[in-house]
Structure 1
Amino acid sequence: MQLDTPNLSYIHMLSDGDKAFEASMISILKRELPTEKEAFVQSILDKNYQNSAELVHKIKHKISILGLEKSYEFAASFEEALRKDDSSGYNMFMRILQNMEEFLTKI
């Protein structure tokens, strides 16, 4: 899967020009994503795929906020696969998380 490019279009639409709101949303993403990623990786290592699915569910909303439509679709299917104890999408999901982190560090 080709990774889509993160953007702030959705945040801009939600904010209706409120720069403080935009800054707050970006700050939340920057603060929460690394913690959620760490918890996800640990959950996968522990082979606790039900918990991993819950973490993917939380993270996929951040994926959506950053305008990553293809990545969101992948995350939704990966979440369902994890509920069936199938972690084969792990590497692709990690690429999506890396893509998001790199974008957030640049803004």
Structure 2
Amino acid sequence: MEQANLNYINELSGDNQEFKNKIITILKKELPDEIEIYQEEFIKANYLLASQSVHKLKHKISILGLEKSYYIAEEYENNLKDNSTDLNADFENILKIMQEFVSHL
């Protein structure tokens, strides 16, 4: 599985450490909440609402440089819209990678 990184954040912020810190702070705050909302909707089998959460999480996936994972999430989002949970295990692994990475920032 690919590894999360700060390449995009570094590129976006350039030499502005304050801006970089703000982005990281937002990630640390929003990511756990967005994952929790996704998981709650998934458990309730509200797949359309879960797909909307996946859509929001895709932005965080791309910010953390997980290019291949972004495409998995995109396909998973479409699966959920079709009431299919195919790729759930892959998506859960992506969430785990993101959580572990962000928790060490």
* Coarse TM-score class (shorter-chain normalised): over 0.9
Q: Matches of 2:62 and 2:33 in 1, distance apart?
A: 18
Rounded Cα–Cα distance in structure 2 between residues aligned with 1:47 and 1:104: 27
> 1:13 deviation in Å?
0.7
Alignment-mate amino acid for residue 29 of structure 1: L
Percent identity between the two aligned chains: 41
Aligned to 1:46: 44
Q: Which residue of 1 aligns with 2:102?
A: 104
Query: SS of the residue aligned with 2:49?
Result: helix
TM-superposed deviation, 1:87: 1.2
CA RMSD of aligned residues (A): 0.7
Matched length: 105
What amino acid maps onto 2:91 in structure 1? F
State the 1:49 CA deviation. Answer: 0.5
- Length-normalised TM-score, structure 1: 0.95
Q: Output the CA distance in 2 between the equivalents of 1:90 and 1:41.
A: 11
- Work out which structure has the larger RCO, using CA pairs closer than 8 Å and 6 or more positions apart in sequence: 1
Match of 2:6 in 1: 8
State how 1:52-91 maps to structure 2 within 5 Å.
52-91=50-89
Q: Give the gaps of 5 or more residues in structure 1.
A: none
Which of structure 1's runs of 4+ aligned residues deviate more than 4 A? Answer: none
Give the Å deviation of 1:88. 2.3
For normalisation by structure 2, the TM-score amounts to 0.96
